[in-house]
Copies of this chain bind each other. A is one copy, B any other.
Amino acid sequence: MDKRIQRHASILIHHSARVEQGDMVEVKAPTSAEKLVIALNEQLGQIGARPRLTWLNSRANAAYLQALAPEDAVTAEHTVAAMEETDVHIVIQSHTNTAEHSETPAEVGQAVARASAPVQEAVPDRDVFTVYPAPGNAQQAEMSTKAYEDFVWNAINQDWEAQHEFQEQLVEYLESASEINLTRPTGTDLTMSVNGMHAINGDGRGNLPDGEVFTAPIVDSINGIVKFDFPVQHAGQTIEDVTLTFEQGEVVEHHAATNESTLTSLLNTDSGARRLGEIGFGMNRGIDQFTQNILFDEKMAGTVHLALGSASDRAAPKRGNESTIHVDMLIDMREGGVVTVDGEMIQQDGSFVFEN
């Protein structure tokens, strides 16, 4: 077996989920991730943990959803019961074809998602989401499968203890910060306060790859203009060249070069959809290109992401923005970008002052 797969499994088990003897582990995986499942099972056997394996089969799931009347959506009580006895939850994203749900009616998916809320509530704290590189993911990234494998394992197979220490330097700036300002020669000039919010060190526990530090803005503190440098995927559409103007935390003007009406709909989802819930800094130096997969893109070193919609409870206990949406959008700081914290420059051209 490819040593990179064994290392990926080892990081998931020992770093991300900290699996112990006797732990009840649920692994959810699609067919294309079989090799990672085999590697996980071998290491779970060595530890003496107990796996159960749920098959994420997008063709079978699409067949179910496309035949289901929305009013027949019921809570999967057997799945809730299993989740309540689960100590570790590992979900593997891996696609042979990312478009298997293209014909699934949105209202059925939404009805099943609502009925599945009790499943989500039962997910244990040790909950990891990762990617196994399959042809469908590679196609989405416009890369060969071989090149995409290199890309994914470069992003994942890192020394996460060292990455934690590296990121902790930014955490320290942000924990004591009040005002953050972002500027770019393209016209971006945005100011917000994060006073009293927590900065979270994304060091490979909940996501793999990880490699970001994020916090939450004070909801009405945001003012200025921001131009996003990468396309935004939403509702099956690609929205390009998004520009947002904020006044007292609210989007008062918006533009996009393509699918502007999709952006308008997004902003009108609910009252929190016009406000920001997150500002995050990509710090994974193993991710050096945009691949249309937010799990990777938002971690790319030299980028900053802002999320319209809900804030993390960990970053902003009881104080963050609330919404049913959470849509991340990226700014590329690598050419002319400057980040200041309370007037002190902490990043220029995508490099932090504490980087070598």
Contacts and interface: CB of A to CB of B under 8 A. Distances in A.
A17 B349 CA distance: 63
A57 B37 contact: yes
A86 interface: yes
Given A43-B67, A84-B81, A60 B52 contact: no
A306 to B, nearest CB: 37
B78 A64 contact: no
Contacts of A21: 72
Given A74-B22, A77-B85, A82-B78, A37 B52 contact: no
A34 B37 contact: no
Interface in A38-61: 38-46, 48, 50-55, 57, 59-61
Given A79-B82, A84-B81, A45 B24 contact: no
Contact of A60 (B26, B46, B53): B53
A61 B40 CA distance: 10
Contacts of A84: 81
B74 A85 contact: no
Contacts of A69: 48
Given A60-B38, A64-B41, A67-B42, A53 B54 contact: yes
Indicate the size class of the contact surface on chain A: 35 or more
A46 B80 CA distance: 22
Contacts of A66: 42, 45
A48 B64 contact: no
B63 A38 contact: yes
A144 interface: no
A315 B221 CA distance: 76
Contacts of A29: 55
Contact of A44 (B46, B51, B64, B86): B64
Interface of A: 21-22, 24, 26, 29, 31, 34, 37-46, 48, 50-55, 57, 59-61, 63-69, 72, 74-86
19 contacts: A22-B74, A29-B55, A34-B59, A38-B60, A40-B60, A41-B60, A41-B61, A41-B64, A42-B67, A44-B67, A45-B66, A48-B74, A50-B74, A50-B75, A52-B76, A53-B54, A53-B60, A78-B82, A81-B84
Given A38-B59, A81-B85, 14 more contacts: A22-B74, A26-B78, A37-B60, A38-B57, A40-B60, A41-B67, A45-B63, A45-B67, A46-B68, A50-B78, A51-B64, A52-B79, A55-B55, A78-B82
